[in-house]
Amino acid sequence: MSELGLKQRLINKARKRSLWVLPFNSGGCNGCAIELLTCVSPRSDVERFGILVKGSPRHADVLVVDGPVTTKLKDRLLRIYQQMPEPKAVVALGSCPASNGVFDGCYGVAGPLDKIIPVDVWVPGCPPRPEAIIHGITKTMQKIEGLKK
Ligand code: SF4
């Protein structure tokens, strides 16, 4: 194994255990956002997995999107995704990003999410339970570790 390969593997291993998460509500009812906040409470304590909620896309590894993507927020979501450094992953929270959920057919909805940005993990539910959200975010660890950069 080359020196660069070993170095990259070590970097990826460290990244895997230090996921910084950026939540983004793309127009949902806030139910999923509240469940996501529960994950950072002492009861769930996601920091034991190295997961930290961050407000800046330039520092984030994982983008967690909830709600259907509205036409008003579509361009902002795309811009935020482009601002995130590689390697990055996207988690879709709840049924809204997957199928527009209860907002399907509304005039202002541009989703589903995978029409706009690539999605790595889908977390079902309306809203999903905190355990499911944590499981979804930790699933991105495999992707972050497996990427070259
Ligand atoms: S999936 Fe359900 S709880 Fe989550 S934003 Fe959509 S309607 Fe609200």
Query: pLDDT tens digits for 94-110?
Result: 999 999 999 999 999 99
Other C-beta atoms closer than 10 Å to the C-beta of 3 total 7
- Intra-chain end-to-end CA distance of the chain, in Å: 17
- Which pTM was predicted? 0.91
Where b means 16+ CB within 10 Å and e means fewer, 95-115 reads: bbbbebbebeeeeebbbbbee
Query: Tens digit of pLDDT for each residue in 5-60?
Result: 788 778 878 888 899 999 999 999 999 999 999 998 999 989 988 999 989 999 99
Closest atom, ligand 1, to C-alpha of 31: 3
Other C-beta atoms closer than 10 Å to the C-beta of 125 total 15
- Note whether 129 and 35 are within 8 A (CB): yes
User: Ligand 1: residues whose CB is within 6 Å?
Assistant: 28-29, 31-32, 66-67, 94-96, 101-102, 126-127
